[in-house]
Amino acid sequence: MRKKLYILFIVILAAGMHAQQYNSSQSPALADLSPQQPEQDPDSQDTSMRSPGTTDTSFGLPGATDTAVLPPGPVSLAEEKEQPLVYVFDIKEMIAAPIWRTTKLAFAEADSLDADLVIIDMNTYGGEVGAADSIRTFLLNAKIPVYVFINDNAASAGALISIACDRIYMKPGAKIGAATVVNQSGEQVPDKFQSYMRATMRATAEAQGKDTLIVNGDTTLVWKRNPDIAEAMVDPRLFVENVIDTGQVLTFTATEAMENGYCEGIVNSIPELLENIGIEEYTLKSYEPTTMDRIIGLLINPFVSGILIMIIIGGIYFELQSPGVGFPIIAAAIAALLYFAPLYLEGLAEYWEFLIFLAGIILMLVEIFAIPGFGVAGVAGIIALVTGLALSMVDNEVVRDFEFTGEGINVLMKAFGVVVLSAMLGLIASIWTASKVLSTTSFASLVLGTDQKVENGYLGVDAKQKTLVGKTGEAYTVLRPSGRVLIDGEIYDAKAEFGYISKGEKVKILRYETGQVYVVKV
């Protein structure tokens, strides 16, 4: 046994001495951590020079030549792939909640496929700053390198998203810039909102970092994307030497963007873009939305959300005005489901926002059927209903910790504006629909359409009620809005002209119409 161990010790010692001799024959430079490469003929080796300690900054993609001073490290897994996987998705419509949703879904798929590069194919005139800011923050924190190919336009919110990408490529004739915040009418909003957008554009440009330039032995740090230029795309008051004078909002052509560091290349297509960075063989994967994705994207569109709000409010009002009809409240319930469900699935709406909406409806029903008059419960119900609908449209990041930025307030104001306007239109449409629909032959069963003639046994209304106009009395019962009043010692059926009237309150007969007296409180 001892003999066997002695022989094993001699073998291990001999192997160690052989390894030491091999290492001593190598260059004294740091050991290469990359996989061993086959030997090359010294005469055929690449004679290009690279500074000690430099490494490729092309995110592991072959063909890029940009270098920066970085500590040596292991080779990226992307460099070991035979064919890089390039993932492409489009931003070719107005920036809004559906595009923010598409961005998250596209990156989730790209990450699951272990993509080496994501390219955004962009052609947009802008859109909602809130959605654009969410996309911008997402891109700045993305683990996968992101390039943007500006197919034609990257205006306003599109410019913000483009600057957040690692590299910008533009098609000949494309434009980028004009990021001033405007309202729905195209007019500039107050400066407090512009101030927030200026800071956002500047911070996005600064997030791209600085380049190290060595000229004649002097080291200089310069911004990769000049923050002053990004800010000038918002504020016409800014002056940037050799770029833009005051009084103009900055917009770059492709050539101007190249000259000022806001474009890495002018190409005609995505394949040409990949060729430009040295990728000749690759696997291309494009984002393909499912049918459900398209449906959800449609339902969370602000215009469609506005229509759903109109149906919700109009249906509730229609049903309250014509109890027992049925279909208006069913339509309102379906619209509420279509409104809240997609927003909840997308993380915009929380359960408590739906509960606020539901509490608003309950308070309004309590006001109508349980509490006479129109007071605290009714007002609180309306406020809760509008608040629940509006907050559901807003990304919860905006109201997180109740720290409202200028843009956050702007987003909330827009959401409340959409809800209030849609509710008003819904009420108007409901009133008009009730007057038209219930009088048609198709809905004759819902209304009294038979002539009640005396010769057929029907009794006429006492014409004495016409003489009561102008007289005063008191409410014999609660008028909600119909009830009974006591006038000159006699009881008459009556209806409140405005709101509700409690029992015992003084009333005055305002008018007589279609066999009914109408009263008001005095």
The Cα–Cα gap between 267 and 299 comes to 36
Q: Are 30 and 55 in contact (CB under 8 A)?
A: no
Q: At what angle do helices 191-206 and 129-140 cross, to 10 degrees?
A: 20
User: What value does the CA radius of gyration of the chain take, rounded to a whole number of Å?
Assistant: 36
Residue ranges of the chain whose pLDDT lies below 50: 1-60, 62-80, 401-405, 444, 447-449
- Residue 255 CA to its chain's centroid (Å): 32
- Measured CA to CA in angstroms, residue 56 lies from 47, 49, 60, 72 at distances of 17, 13, 7, 10
Output the pTM of the full model.
0.61
* Angle formed at CA 107 by CA 105 and CA 110, multiple of 5 degrees: 110
Neighbours of 84 (CB within 10 A): 21
DSSP for 353-402? HHHHHHHHHHHHHHHHHTSSSS-HHHHHHHHHHHHHHHHHTS-TTTTGGG
Residues 6+ apart with CB under 8 A from 308: 299, 335, 336, 338, 339
Question: Can you name the residues that pair with 55 across neighbouring β-strands?
Answer: 68
The Cα–Cα gap between 488 and 473 comes to 7
Beta-strand pair 218-223/175-177? unpaired
The Cα–Cα gap between 488 and 493 comes to 14
Neighbours of 459 (CB within 10 A): 7
pLDDT value of residue 237:
92
pLDDT value of residue 498:
79
The Cα–Cα gap between 48 and 99 comes to 44
Neighbours of 430 (CB within 10 A): 24
pLDDT 10s digits, 294-309:
888 888 888 898 899 9
- Torsions phi, psi of 348, nearest 5? -80, -45
pLDDT value of residue 373:
56
Neighbours of 34 (CB within 10 A): 9
- Torsions phi, psi of 245, nearest 5? -95, 170
pLDDT value of residue 492:
87
Residues 6+ apart with CB under 8 A from 276: 169, 265, 267
Q: Are 433 and 311 in contact (CB under 8 A)?
A: no
Tell me the torsion sign for CA atoms 486, 491, 497, 503.
positive
pLDDT value of residue 214:
81
Structure tokens at 59: 């995110």
pLDDT 10s digits, 64-115:
444 333 333 333 334 445 789 999 999 999 998 889 989 999 999 999 999 9
